[in-house]
């Protein structure tokens, strides 16, 4: 997939909701291929921890693929943390990782997920 497509994915997803903090397209080795960060927003992770987070996502993606034949491929993963919510979507061997403001009602997160699924399917 071309870098232009990675950027398109991030921008398109970012437009879904004003509560989206960050959209990152992460390669299978954990490299950040493209990203969008909401303006005037301080990152929650420093550069070192961001690299660790993306490496973790890449390793987890690789491990999860062992279960694809039995359980089916992952469509998305939603995590609720104390300070932020995250959603990740698989597009072949890459991941689209999205962070969302914590104080968003669950129906908005579900709306974001439902809006992201067709975008992700376009690139799968």
Q: Tens digit of pLDDT for each residue in 32-88?
A: 999 999 988 888 877 777 787 877 777 777 777 778 889 988 889 899 999 999 999
pLDDT at residue number 114: 97
pLDDT at residue number 8: 92
d(CA 13, CA 110) in angstroms, rounded, equals 14
> What letter would DSSP give residue 73?
-
Phi, psi of 42 (to 5 degrees): -85, 125
Does residue 62 contact residue 28 with C-beta atoms inside 8 Å?
A: yes
- How many folded domains does the chain comprise? 1
Residue 63: give its domain's CATH number.
Answer: 3.30.450.30
pLDDT at residue number 83: 93
**pLDDT-derived band at 15, boundaries 50, 70, 90:** very high
pLDDT at residue number 87: 95
* pTM reported for the whole predicted model: 0.86
Domain holding 88, by residue range, is 3-123
Q: What is the pLDDT of residues 80-112, one digit of tens each?
A: 999 999 999 988 888 999 999 999 999 999 999
d(CA 83, CA 42) in angstroms, rounded, equals 13
């Amino acid at each position: 997939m071309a870098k232009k497509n990675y950027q398109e994915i991030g921008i398109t997803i970012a437009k879904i909701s004003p509560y989206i903090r960050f959209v990152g397209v992460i390669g299978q080795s954990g490299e950040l291929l493209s990203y969008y960060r909401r303006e005037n927003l301080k990152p929650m992770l420093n550069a070192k921890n961001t690299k660790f987070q993306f490496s973790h996502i890449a390793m987890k993606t690789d491990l999860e693929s062992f279960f694809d034949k039995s359980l089916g491929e992952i469509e998305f993963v939603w995590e609720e943390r104390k300070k932020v919510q995250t959603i990740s979507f698989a597009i072949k061997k890459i991941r689209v990782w999205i962070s969302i403001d914590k104080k968003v009602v669950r129906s908005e997160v579900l709306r974001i997920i439902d809006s992201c699924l067709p975008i992700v399917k376009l690139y799968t």
